[in-house]
Structure 1
Amino acid sequence: MRKPVLTIFYQYNPWQSTIGGIQSLINTFIKFAPDTFSIRLVGTGADNGQVVGQWHESELLGRPIQFFPLFTLLDDNVRKLVPTTVRYTAALLSKTLQSDFMHFHRIEPTLAARGWLGDKTLFVHNDIPQQMSSAKGAKTILWQQFPQLYFWLERQLMEQFDQVLSCNSASTKFYQQNYPSMVNRIMDVRNAVDTSCFKPLAPGPYQQAKQQLLDRLRLKPSTRLLLFAGRLHPQKDPLLLLRALAATPPESDIHLLVAGDGDLKSEVEQAIEQHNISSRVTLLGAVPKEEMVTLYQVSDVFVLSSRYEGLPIAMLESLACGTPVVTTDCGQGPSLLTSESGLVVSQREPQSLAQALVTVVDNPQRFTPEACMQAVSPHSAQHVVEPIYNSMLQRWHVSQANS
């Protein structure tokens, strides 16, 4: 019997430095896919010789895959005049790329898939009601300005999915209430983290790696490192984080590392100058995965200042590396944290966030690597990915027996 084929649809190129939890999750699903499946990825092209509009035999994370670039996109970290999702959907409309299983991580591209045959799954990555609320900040996404149009489009597309998997319980409840005929197809799913890659360092290598980083950045040995990783985007609200950093006392020796790029880069640079914290911030830009692992491992605290979230992959990666988290009260993250693995800031204002950051860096004996790893253990890739593939394989055998 031939292998079932899974085709994953998302607007990125896995061989480029790309920022985003969706990309990380897709890579995890590819890396941990069982050999019983053939894996295809429909993404975007880079300046690497891959011909746009053709299938390419490739290898990703030690796994053979077929890759189909729809169009060339040299930097997916910054929004363009025409949104990337619109370009991706438009390019997909002229194609027929159906397969036995199809995974979608945005709903718009499924306009092209309505007539395709196969088992379709939609992954929901955000708290959709909060994401669509203009009260969460202007211009976080374009759809926020046209919510009625978005939900109309969603109603036209939802029934095609065999499964809707949401990492956010509020979104799961929202969809179950709005699509009662699909209630048995809409369910929670944990986001996954590759704990074979994201894990703490032993004390000796930890001290060596941290000192090397501090030396490279010309920082004092006593410096406590705060890490932000993600797009410089209104959803992530890095400007709130910068105001919080400015509210921490200089003698706290806190230095912020910003691993990311995006639309707010110029505003971030201006805010750093405005708050006179240029000596306390290092902008790293987009960081390759291998370097991100080290940053997680040697940082004293990871921070999320987001307006809304689903369940951030970056939070899982940090906890898996033994690094505690400070987060604003949004998404599924706060329910994951324990009192020994991080703090949740209920008030979205700089002083509260600053106080939480100082509390964590001043009390390493309270926020331990062991507690962080324990909090994230249910999200290890093996626990999350294997049951999903097993369920797919069972559905595949049933469909083959009935055909």
Structure 2
Amino acid sequence: MNILKLLIVYPIDPYGEKYGGIETNIKSFIKDSPKSFEFELIGIKKKGSRLKLLKWQNIIFEGKKIRFIPILNVKDPNTRTLIPLTLKFVINLFLHKGKIDFRNRIIIFHRVEPAYALYSLKEKKILFIHGDIRNFINIYCESRWRRIRSLYYFLDRFVIKNMIRIFIVSQKGLEYYRHKFPKYTSRFKFLPTWYDPLIFHKFNNLDRAKILSKYKILDKRPIILFVGRLELAKDPILLIDSFYLLTKKFPNSQLIIIGDGTLRQKILKKANFLFGNGNVIFLSKRTQTEIAEIMNVSDLLLLTSRFEGMPSVVLESLACGLPVVSTNTGDSSLVIKN
């Protein structure tokens, strides 16, 4: 069996709880990979973690044995700081790349910035683009690049020509890149968003009462579910406002919020003001198995994002038999009808 050595470069902590679609994508990719794939990961570690900084170590990640080296200590990867996490990661990658053996590996990036630090390497490189970069002009975009997007677009061309393949999870993003870089059209490929059908499916013999009790959810209908980061891009303010209108017609409605982010306290304060101690339940971060259980007892998934690629939570919900109401963003309309 021919072994393919894949080196993923991304600021992820295998033992941490950083929220986001890219993290989910990386985990699923490693988990579902064939035995011929041998993984190494350059990432980060949380301060106080038992992982050793700047040392290769063998770990079990998503059921697979991989080699991991953290190049940066982070207090909380979910908290925005004056210096962005990605910038700190790129600086440390540039400073410590001499300690890492890149030979005979295919290097995989999930953001363009780390590719700048490794631009001179001759190894084969692959880039995953999670969305549509034109969203930088969106006022809800969290990226600091939004203020200097012309610089991003300028640097982007050097990264693109340095890749043997670019996978894009958005159909609209794929069309944009092929139009912008006609010379490299064949390098761009559409990568459909996927989900794990062993986890996300409609439960047979559902013990609804047991699941509701497990998560301290009242047996009041309808139950509206939100799963995502509490950040501007997901517009949780619109989520609360929409749910408030719903309670005018269905006063027993419950909103279950699974996720965390910088807007958590603001959302919590607004929910308490509008609903008191009832109606809205914050469950913070949950595993995929737990999310699937909650989807199976919910009545509707509500997605209020200002922009998306193809949100995996939509596919996961539909797989569980849970209807979805969403803003018309990204590729959601390809699977959400009526």
TM-score past 0.5 threshold: yes
Partner of 1:167: 169
Residues 70-114 of structure 1: CA distance to partner in whole angstroms, max 9, x if unpaired?
112242222122111111111111215425212111111111121
**Letter in structure 2 aligned against 1:21:** G
Partner of 2:187: 185
Label 1:14 to 1:323 Cα distance change in 2 as closer, same or farther (>3 A). Answer: farther
Cα distance in 2, alignment partners of residues 200 and 70 from structure 1: 41
Partner of 1:384: none
Contact 2:231–2:261 under 8 Å retained in 1: yes
Residues 208-251 of structure 1: CA distance to partner in whole angstroms, max 9, x if unpaired?
4443246x24x2x2332211111111000000010011111345
Shift of 1:274: 4.1
SS at match of 2:16: coil
Contact 1:206–1:297 under 8 Å retained in 2: no
- Structure 1, unpaired ranges of 5+: 340-403
Task: Kindly report which structure 2 residues correspond to 1:254-333, keeping only aligned pairs within 5 A, or say none.
Answer: 254-276=253-275, 278-333=277-332
Contact 2:5–2:38 under 8 Å retained in 1: yes
Residue of 148, 153, 156 corresponding to 2:155? 153
Label 1:185 to 1:260 Cα distance change in 2 as closer, same or farther (>3 A). Answer: same
Partner of 2:142: 140
Shift of 1:289: 3.3
TM-score for both structures, normalised by structure 2: 0.92
Residue of 195, 198, 208 corresponding to 1:196? 198
Partner of 2:240: 242
Contact 2:170–2:309 under 8 Å retained in 1: yes
Partner of 2:117: 112
Partner of 2:226: 228
Cα distance in 2, alignment partners of residues 313 and 78 from structure 1: 23
| Identical pairs, percent | 27
Cα distance in 1, alignment partners of residues 19 and 294 from structure 2: 15
Contact 2:212–2:297 under 8 Å retained in 1: no
Contact 1:19–1:77 under 8 Å retained in 2: yes
Q: 1:49 aligned to 2:50?
A: yes
Shift of 1:277: 5.6
SS at match of 1:337: coil
| Higher fraction of helix | 1
**Letter in structure 1 aligned against 2:32:** F
Partner of 1:121: 126
SS at match of 1:212: helix
**Letter in structure 2 aligned against 1:23:** E
Contact 1:246–1:277 under 8 Å retained in 2: no
**Letter in structure 2 aligned against 1:132:** F
Contact 1:5–1:38 under 8 Å retained in 2: yes
Contact 1:14–1:23 under 8 Å retained in 2: no
**Letter in structure 1 aligned against 2:222:** R
Partner of 2:61: 60
SS at match of 1:146: helix
Shift of 1:25: 1.0
Task: Kindly report which structure 2 residues correspond to 1:297-376, keeping only aligned pairs within 5 A, or say none.
Answer: 297-339=296-338
Residues 41-73 of structure 1: CA distance to partner in whole angstroms, max 9, x if unpaired?
211113331101111111122211111111122
**Letter in structure 2 aligned against 1:305:** T
**Letter in structure 2 aligned against 1:285:** S
Shift of 1:273: 3.5
Deviates most, 108-117 or 246-255: 246-255
Cα distance in 2, alignment partners of residues 7 and 265 from structure 1: 34
Task: Kindly report which structure 2 residues correspond to 1:207-226, keeping only aligned pairs within 5 A, or say none.
Answer: 207-213=208-214, 216-217=216-217, 219=218, 221-226=219-224
Contact 2:300–2:322 under 8 Å retained in 1: yes
Contact 1:140–1:234 under 8 Å retained in 2: yes
Cα distance in 2, alignment partners of residues 316 and 15 from structure 1: 26
- Structure 2, unpaired ranges of 5+: none
Shift of 1:16: 2.0
SS at match of 1:292: helix
Cα distance in 2, alignment partners of residues 13 and 199 from structure 1: 28
Cα distance in 2, alignment partners of residues 139 and 207 from structure 1: 38
**Letter in structure 1 aligned against 2:239:** L
Deviates most, 283-292 or 36-45: 283-292
Cα distance in 2, alignment partners of residues 49 and 213 from structure 1: 31
Cα distance in 1, alignment partners of residues 149 and 264 from structure 2: 27
**Number of residue pairs the alignment of both structures matches:** 332
Partner of 2:79: 78
Cα distance in 1, alignment partners of residues 225 and 306 from structure 2: 18
Partner of 2:12: 12
Contact 1:92–1:109 under 8 Å retained in 2: yes
CA RMSD of aligned residues (A): 1.9
